[in-house]
Structure 1
Amino acid sequence: MIRLLGKTNNLSQCLQLKNQNIVRAVGLIKTTLEDIQEIRQNGWDGLFKEVTDFCVKYNILVPNMEDTRTANGRSRSWGGQLVTYNHHFKIEIFNVLHDQLIVELNNRFAERSTQLLRCIACLDPKNSFANYNEDKLVDLANMYAADFSTYEVTFVLRNQLDSFIREARGDPHLMNCNDLGHLAMNMVKSDMHTTFPLVYRLVELALILPVATATVERAFSAMSIIKTGLRNKMGDDWMNHRMVCYIERDVFVSIEESKIIERFQGYRTRKGVLPRPTRKYSHFASIVNHFCLLYYVLIRISKF
């Protein structure tokens, strides 16, 4: 289990990032499936030797692999089928566990979803758009039929892609981009989003995809924590303020309490003065104090 979780850890961590690297995610999906399949085909002998050495070292009885036992799901008293211990551990446990993981990954990353990621990877600006593929980008536009008309996909998009890739590979600002976010910003700065509107629309759709996965799941998880049964009458505005503080807590922790107090105190004349934060705090106490202060400020702001 540790080995299997280690093989899937990089993919899991990549998919949970807010700023997902689509190209890396596509590569990790394929690499993870290949690694698991390789372990299933050739990993049994190494694992068996390692377990045997461990058992010998700590005086643990190792069964004879040629002895028989009842197959899983069968009763010995009802004439259950007998299998060897080697068959039980290798076929019924080792292979079945890997097959379940492979099936789970194939179900979560179906061919349609994986094809979508592969098409988006063609927009990656690294190494002078080394992954560029015009046909796959046209396929990407066909997947978003509501955003591209048949005329745009058939006659306009290909011409814009050809012109855009020549311009981008000669533009030093676009050649230095490392991800789709910087590509979109530099296209706007150089006014290329108006010259190649369909290409810019593809970039926008590619940027929306990561937001529709891990970030949205985090938002819904935060909603269940913030809007509980005791606070079920919370309004949308107040809940939005609290969710921003909860989801972007890494940003808010970096803000000093004194700056928050000064900004809030300067909104309008206050009858009272907020207390100054003390300097000596542990790390946990500082975070707790920070969120309590934000909570108080948002309450006061909502009243005005």
Structure 2
Amino acid sequence: MIKRPGDTRWGSHYITLVNCISMFSSICEILEIIIDDGSNSEQKYETKVLMNSIQSFDFVFHVHLMKTILGITNDLSQVLQRKDQDIVNAMNLVKICKVRLQLMRESGWQSLLDEVSSFCNKHVIDMQLQELNNRFSEKSTELLLCVACLNPSNSFTAFDRQKLICLAQFYPRDFSTTELLILEDQLQNYIIDVCSDNMFVRLTSIGDLSQKMVITAKDKVYPLVYRLLTLALILPVTTATMERTFSAMSIIKTQLRNRMEDQWMHDCLVAYIERDLFDKIDNEAIMYRFQNMKSRRGQL
């Protein structure tokens, strides 16, 4: 069975293309059966048009082209969709994808590139490279790698003082020049302290670390380090959240609602995404608020 592609998931499109290539003969056979035994003439005609399209050179070329490109980015897509995102490996995959896409653009096309290079450069490869560059610029990649150095798992093995100083330099409004010098010394005391304190054993996330620092009052002892933790916690790493939001948009804005205005769509999305909170609101309170917004013919 061919998997239905999700609107915002690269991986589902990639699997669909792989299945389309591997099951191409079977797909053609099924379409031929529909052409011969379809329930009505309209269905037969649409199937015949589809059959002619998928057997064209353009279709086969584009299927293989997109399968190759999405195959390059598929591992990155899968990593970014996991709840326990491994930032270091994700950033390495970003670099790998950029390199492979660039190599494909420069020397991977041969005779195929000669025929359709203008289309590929305009609509496919540049789009993928631009998306990666927009989401993961060199500065944002460096920022995320610096944040990963705060991770307390495995007895703070990810700790890197220089990268944490670099992280503080990304926030000039939060760290003055003097505080950066103080932070350098404070980090050395901090790492010795937490590594020797049993209270900080088996921590797995920055959130756990920040809570433990408050419990042990080390947020007062190392205020600059705690400020770094606070900034790391509010850093908008929202790849998975954005995918869920766009998935919600595909549910809210259906064909029947394709003319809905931005404000109405915004209100519907808030109600849908935050439905756990809205479930706690009594229906009577909602109807009372709605009734009092303006006079209506009947009582709700």
Note the residue ranges of structure 2 that are not aligned, 5 or more in a row.
1-65, 254-259, 293-300
Are residue 28 (structure 1) and residue 93 (structure 2) matched?
A: yes
Are residue 191 (structure 1) and residue 237 (structure 2) matched?
A: no
Structure 2 counterparts to residues 1-304 of structure 1, below 5 A: 1-12=66-77, 14-15=79-80, 21-36=86-101, 85=111, 88=114, 97-98=124-125, 101-154=128-181, 156-210=182-236, 215=241, 229=261, 243=270, 246-249=272-275, 296=283, 299=286
Counterpart code for 2:158: N
Identity, % of aligned pairs?
41
Separation in 1, partners of 2:81, 2:227 = 25
Counterpart code for 2:145: R
TM-score normalised by length of structure 1? 0.55
Question: 1:139/1:94 Cα in 2 relative to 1: closer, same or farther (>3 Å)?
Answer: same
Separation in 2, partners of 1:181, 1:107 = 27
Question: 1:297/1:42 Cα in 2 relative to 1: closer, same or farther (>3 Å)?
Answer: farther
Alignment-derived partner of residue 36 in structure 2: none
Aligned 8 A contact 1:20 1:210 in 2: no
Larger Rg computed on CA atoms: 1
TM-score normalised by length of structure 2? 0.55
Note the residue ranges of structure 1 that are not aligned, 5 or more in a row.
46-84, 253-289
Separation in 2, partners of 1:130, 1:161 = 14
Separation in 1, partners of 2:201, 2:97 = 30
Question: 1:37/1:130 Cα in 2 relative to 1: closer, same or farther (>3 Å)?
Answer: farther
Separation in 1, partners of 2:106, 2:201 = 42
Separation in 2, partners of 1:230, 1:86 = 43
Cα RMSD after superposing both structures: 4.4
- Pairwise CA distance, 1:183: 1.5
Separation in 1, partners of 2:234, 2:83 = 11
- Pairwise CA distance, 1:153: 0.7
Name the SS for the 1:132 alignment partner. Answer: coil
Question: 1:92/1:302 Cα in 2 relative to 1: closer, same or farther (>3 Å)?
Answer: closer
Question: 1:297/1:175 Cα in 2 relative to 1: closer, same or farther (>3 Å)?
Answer: farther
- Aligned residue pairs total 217
Aligned 8 A contact 1:18 1:215 in 2: no
- Pairwise CA distance, 1:8: 2.1
